Amino acid sequence: MRLGVLDVGSNTVHLLVVDAHPGARPLPAHSHKVQLRLAELLDAEGSISTNGIDRLIAVIKEAMLAAEDKGVEEVLPFATSAVREAANAEAVLARVAEETGVNLTVLSGEEEARLTFLAARRWYGWSAGRLLVLDIGGGSLEIAYGLDEVPDIAASLPLGAGRLTSAWLPGDPPDPGDVRALRRHVRAQIARLVGDFSRIGTPDHVVGTSKTFKQLARIAGADRSADGPYTHRKLGIRALENWVPKLAEMPVAQRAGLPGVSDGRAQQLAAGALVAEGAMDLFGVDELEICPWALREGLILRRLDHLPAS
C-alpha cells in the first residue's frame, strides 16, 4: 500500500510518501517539503501567531493535495515540539482540523525518541547490540538507549537547533559571549541525563539521526546524501570539535556555502553543532554513524506492524 507521513515539525512541514507492506522495508516514492519555521512564528506569549496558523493551514492543504496526486491511501499526520509547546496548541489543532480535515497527532518528546529508536533498530538490526540514538530536531534533542525495539530509556530535552538559535544566537555571526553561554546551557542540560543512561551500560553502537547530524558529518568529510542510503557515514568527535568554533565564527551566508548545508538550515547549524558536540562528549562517544531512518520511518514501521499480513 502507499502510505504518507505528514510531519509538522519546528523547521519544516514534510510529507513523505512510501510504498510499504508488512515484512518489507518502506520504499520512498515521493517527498514534499516546505520550510515553514513554525517555531519562529510565535508571539510574545508563546502562541503561534494568526499569520503562522494561516501559513500552516495553507502548507498542510498543499501537502494533502500532493498526497492525493501520488495515490496515497492513508496519511499519518503528526506534530512535534513547535505545536506541542505552543500556548495556543488546542486552538491551532482545532483550526487545522476544521479547515483541512487533518487531525494532527501531537507526539510527546519521549514518543519521538521511542519511534526514532525503533527506526534505527530496524535499520541496523539486532547485530548492532545495545543502541544509543541521538536526534537533534528544530525544537528538541531526543536520546534513547536499549537492546530491543523498545528502548530501555528515552528522553527529550528542549535543545533543538532552531529553538536555541532564536533564543541564544541572534547575531550573524553570533557574539562569542552568546556562543559560550549557549555551550554552558547545552552541557548543563545534557549532563543531568547522563547518569540515568550510563547506569544501564555502555552502548555497542551509537547513531545520530536528523538533518543536523547529516550536515555535520558531510562538512566533516562524509559522503554525499546523493550517494545513497547504504553508504556508511560517520561523524567523529575530534572532527566535530574542530568545526564547532569555525561554524560559530562564520556568517550564515558562509555556512550555506559548505558541502551539504542548505540555505534554510545554515542559520541554525552552529547551535546544532554545539548540541551534537555536547551530547557526544558527555556520553563518551568518539564516533557515531549517521542513520538514514528517523521519526517518520518509525511511525511508518509502527503502522505496518499493526496491518494484517497479506
Asked if residues 190 and 278 have their Cβ atoms less than 8 Å apart, the reply is: yes
What's the CATH code of the domain at 45? 3.30.420.40
| Residue 310 pLDDT level (bands cut at 50, 70, 90) | low
**At residue 235, what is the residue type?**
L
Which of 186, 185, 190, 165 has its CA nearest to residue 255?
A: 165
Tell me: do 102 and 79 sit in the same domain.
yes
| Residue 116 pLDDT level (bands cut at 50, 70, 90) | very high
Which of 106, 81, 80 has its CA nearest to residue 93?
A: 106
Say if residue 130 is exposed, middle or buried (CB neighbours under 10 Å; 0-12, 13-18, 19+): middle
Which of 63, 60, 55 has its CA nearest to residue 17?
A: 63
d(CA 200, CA 70): 45
Q: Rounded mean pLDDT of 118-142?
A: 96
Tell me: do 87 and 52 sit in the same domain.
yes
- Which residue is associated with the grid cell 541521538? 134
Tell me: do 97 and 153 sit in the same domain.
no
What's residue 309's pLDDT? 64
C-alpha cell at 190: 545534557
pLDDT exceeds cutoff 70 at 156: yes
What's the CATH code of the domain at 251? 3.30.420.150
The chain-wide mean pLDDT, for the chain, equals 94
- Which residue is associated with the grid cell 542510503? 229
What's residue 236's pLDDT? 97
Tell me: do 96 and 121 sit in the same domain.
no
pLDDT exceeds cutoff 90 at 77: yes
Pairing of the two strands 205-209 and 234-236: unpaired
The pLDDT tens digits of the residues spanning 215-242 come to 999 999 988 877 777 788 999 999 999 9
pLDDT exceeds cutoff 60 at 178: yes
pTM of the full structure: 0.94
